[in-house]
Structure 1
Amino acid sequence: MCNPISYEQELIDAIPVPMFFMDVEGAFIGSNQAFNSFIGKSDAEVREMGVYQLLSGNNVFRHEEIDRILLINGSIQPFEEEAIGAHSKRYFVRYRKALVHDVKGHVTGIVTTIVDLTDLREVEDALMASESQKKAILDGFPGVLALFDNNLSAIWVNDAGRRTGGKSIGKPCHDIICKSTHHCRDCAVTQSVQTGEVEVAVRAIDSTSGGVEQFFEVIGTPVKNAQGEVENVIVIARNITKRFELEKQLRQTQKMEAVGTLAGGIAHDFNNMLTPIMGYSEIIKLRMSQNGFDDELISEYLGEIFKAGKRAKNLVEQILTFSRSSEQKESRQYLHPIINEVLRLMRSTLPSTIEIDQDIDKTCGPVSIDAVQIQQILINLCTNSSEAIGQEHGKLTVSLKKGALQDDTEEEWLELTVSDSGCGMKQELLERVFDPYFTTKEKGRGTGLGLSLVHSIITNHGGHISVATEKNIGSTFRIFLPVSKEATRFDQVLTVSNEPLEEEKRVILVDDDAQVVQVTSELLKSIGYQVNAFTSPVDALEKFQENPETYDLLLTDLTMPRLTGVELCNMVKVVRPELPVILFTGYSESLDNVVVSDSCIDEYCLKPLSLVELSQTVGRLIGRDQENIN
């Protein structure tokens, strides 16, 4: 027959959970083998060293206090904490404590069990880290990211969604995303629930800051159960306002490109029409003088016809200038003629209540800039000044003078100033006036890019721009640009000496427009040149090749059927490399695609040419040629 005490110990040792026993006085009684293995000590060693000292180090009092509470209350909740095991290894464990009773029901001690939760805790920590990482990713998404049920109520919303919709859980999608009191028509979330497909919609939403319209792209992605039914919808809403504005700008740019293309075609034909109008008015006036027919009134009428044609030519060039979209080309530009041209245009577009004053120093040197860009700058600043003045009587002043920067004593500068007597700006607006997309204009009146582009153009050319303003007094924009010291090919062409026109010089004239050929031929003859005129470049080339030494100059149109002016020039130069060539066209944009620095072309000009311009241009080239031969 076995010893009952020995049997009980064997039974306790068979339990895989570490446990130990204390009497009601807090003395260690014993433990099972699982506890001995866990603690790495025998019962004798535990009794000698103290069980709580071994398990908790300096936290003995906590365990003793828990035991006292257990003895008083009869029970205590399990608790978790770190425990020290064999070889000082630390575990995360759950303690359970219960009272031990004898056969009479008297409390004789306390039994404590230990459950090792270390692996579970590591899994929980890993899960928490994973959840934190996922939350950081979802909350870090710059747009709204949310999960809705099939009734369109929010189940989960990221930080951006909570910032947009406040307490978002349970709210409908239109409240969180669109800030609306009712479901939106063509809602991507609703459609995704109905179709079971990914749906996309763009919504225009008024922001809370000043009612500025923002555009959001809303994507609804269905989440289906095992039966294929939509249970939830994942919603992504991104602010695409900047992209939307860029797309609008692209569309506007494409429109301007189309306008530029159309304007180019019209300009070519229109300038060809102006050529005989202006040319014949000069020829008639010249013939009247040569034949002794002196009628001041008729001469005045002819002069008015010529001036009207000149204005029409300038108007066409202005239309082309402000509609062209080709790559900007820097060259040395004197600003005073550009300013005069822009102010002439502005006088016809600004209200008559605005007085335009100008103070231009024509002795200012040139700057290296694209003419179109400086025109854009002036038009933008003048337009802004006009809007600042509004319907009231006011004054717009444009000045150009030699300037200086305080920190730059070596370089020469020009100071271009545009000032107005308008409403001025508040200080908070002044600080943002050059920011892209910032505008004080009403919806539909501009993109807010004007002054930022002005600032960009000026700084890209090494210049500086500043603004001073006073409420109800006006604003002044000051632009500083460095004076260019580098000479260009165009400058060099203008400095070639103008030799006196000589008799018996022969010009071969080529243009596919018969009227242009006829009037240009008459103009050349009237100033003493012999002319062989052709409307076909192929015929002109054949005639030239018969006797190439006969001709002193080639004057050709650029755009012609079968052979362009450049192609004709190259073929002529093969035979007569020294022959001067003038290329003229009715559309200045065409010249952008011609390498005018090529030795093939000696001069280029725009139709219609006045008698003086034609005489100077031809005389300059033939004079230069004669000078080179001698």
Structure 2
Amino acid sequence: MHLDTDDPLFMADLCRAFLFALPDGVMVCSAAGKCLWATEAAARFLGMPHESLRHLHLGEIGALKGSQLAAQGDETMRTGQPCHWEASLAPTNNGSLLLDFRLSRAELLGEPVLIVLISDIGERCREQAATRASVERYRMLVDATSDLIYSYDTALTLTGINRPAARTLGLEPAEAVGRPLGELGFPEPTLSLWKRMTEAVLSSREATREVVEAVMPDGQTYAYETVLQPVLDGSGCVIGCRGASRDVSGMKRVETELRQSEERFRGIFEQGSVGIALIGTDQSLVRANSAFCEMLGYEENELLGKTVADITATEDVQPSLEGSRALYSGERSSLTIEKRYRRKDGGLIWGHLSASLVRGDDGQPFGSVAMVQDITSRKQVEESLRLAEFSVDHAGLAIFWSDPQGRFLSVNDYLCRRLGYSREELLGMTVAEVDPVAPKPWRDHWLELREKGSITFESLMRTRSGEEFPIEGTGNYVEFAGKEYNFGFAVDISERKKAQEALRESEELFRQSHKMEAIGQLAGGIAHDFNNLLTAIIGYSDLVLTSGDSDIESLRSDVREIKAAAGRASDLTRQILAFSRRQALQPEVVSLNDVVSGTERLLGRTLGETIELVTLLRPDLGLVEVDRSQFEQVLMNLVVNARDAMPGGGRLTIETANVELDEKSCRAYMGTDPGPYVLLAVSDTGTGMDEDTRSRAFEPFFTTKEPGRGTGLGLSTVYGIVKQSCGSVYVHSELGRGTTLRVYLPRVDQPKKRRATALRASDSVVGNETILLVEDEAAVRELSTRVLTRLGYHVVAAANGDDAIVILENEDHPYDMLLTDVVLPGTMQGNEVARAARLLNPDLPVLYMSGYTRDAIVHAGRLDEGVNYLEKPFTPDRLAQRVREVLDSRHGAQEAADPF
């Protein structure tokens, strides 16, 4: 076939074929907008049959009715300017189409026509929208991811960055792009890191993955998992890098924590105090920690392979296996029981078991982990508590709790039984209702209980029947759970009271018996010694009376023996008075160091050459108030007693010290109050004493010495003088090791001032004053009168106080002194005579004489202040001296006021 391309028909057919082959629709319209010709594609786009489209005006086409296309066509024909219009049409049976109408003016066969080109741009728009959406999604994903995504060129200048990455720099993405990495605040170590990684990628042209730690611009160090890959241009040249960094700091921390957790678990398993064991599905032990092994007394290799039943008490095997079956079957998520385990040595212990399944990756259990805590002690405590509860209810005393108002909150069975009430009845009552004669009202009792915490008292309880019985009650203040309680006990002391009464009667009988025994011993000792002395006195007196005209020297010798015997009798009575604390002391404030030092030479001569004397005197020793002469006698008695305990020689130590006695010490030294004391200790290295001898050391006339070597009054005298001086004496001795006697005397702060009535020694004892003598003993009265008369005094004597007062009232001559016995017969004692005499003559000096003062002029063993005293028996010289001293005191010192 030959085609003539120059043939006009060929060109017309070619154009028609081309137009119909186009995917776009073509319409040719007249200048008035009527369709002259259209392709089938145009009819399809507009949803009309091809034949129906011709001759229709643009505004009449159904899909275009009401549109701007007709107006746009008129505008194009008028101006000749092409026009573009897009519209979404819904032609029949074609669905919704997005069409692009392009209108242009042309001439066809010399006539102006409107060419309308219709293109379906829906697919293209959808593709563009999809592309834009894809780009936006990518951008959003890139920005939404926590990863840092970025790109930069070979000069390390950012060419792209997502928002998270820009945020780490404190910038927006647009602010960061185009800036070199060196200007973004990275410290030098981080820049060096990026340069190193970049050089590796650029040189290898391969991607790299690395976890790096980088210091960011905020100064914090982060761990990043970084992927860096080269960027190639179209020619394959490397033009930069793109990278993604993921913050794995948290992951690193998690890994660290996981590792630490694993280490902790391993530590807990291996070193934990709770027993842990891994148990297989066949109930055999797979692993066991040291605590579990130690609990059961096994080594781990001995336990492995044993079953749970092997280490469980026989009675507890079945419940344990049933619990395991319930755990594996899913009936229970965990197993918690208390059971008994059998140790290797056969003993049983209690354990608290907590078990849970261990599952594999497939979710199936491959065993269980058991944690066992030894609760044997707790079980024992629980058993003890049960026994305690039983004991409380069956105790032989009342136990109860009450509130601050005294209402019973809890009572034991004993209290219910003893009072005859039911528990319910007692719980509605108060303590006061069963204790009607309590020492204090309940409110006062409660306040005292709160203050002291615990109080003990005696009272009575009344039973339901009205019977009353004595009790010893104890209340204890308790705070528990924010509330206050009284936790009380009450013991029925009826039998104790009966026993105490019987004991009191027995003790009274014993005391009477002991007193009679002591009196008998004392009387026997006095009788023995006085009979010896009286024998000498009577015997020598008879010799004098029957001597006839014997030699005067022989008579003098006999009289001297009589006087010596009387002197020994005087010493004996003085010792007896010292023991009985009835002698009159004249105390002064002294240092015991001075007493020891003043008698040291005499003591040395007393001890002899075979005994070493050691003195340990404290330099800053406190002062004491004692009768110095009496205390020198105490020291001498202690030294002599120690000397006699060392017949073969030894060492005697005298020590002084300041001591503080507390209540505990005072209980050891009976009759001593806590406080500051001065200690005098005399220790020897002699034979010592057994306990029986030590306990009787201070008894009068008790001695372990050979006959003739002691009276048995030495330590008794020490005891009496020390006690009368408000002190205490204690003996410590061990048989064969020696003895120490400790004397404790109260410490005084300041020396006493000398008495204003201190008497001066008189060179002459004669006088011419008038003296009223009051003495009931005729021999003493006659002796005193004769002695004083010989010395020049005028003496008027009276046998009792009443006679003395009569003499004073009836005599006009004033008396210069009253010399009176303390103990007188009749209604008036010596001090009362002195008081009456001073009513008549306030300045009358008084001199008391007595062998036993009672409490007339001596109180607490000490002479009253300002009292002049002459102790019986006395010699004529001593009487003369004391009378002269008292009379002379009127001129040397102001007489003290009447102490009565």
Question: Under TM normalisation by the shorter chain, which class is it?
Answer: 0.3 to 0.5
Larger radius of gyration: 2
TM-score, normalisation: structure 2: 0.31
- TM-score w.r.t. the length of structure 1 is 0.42
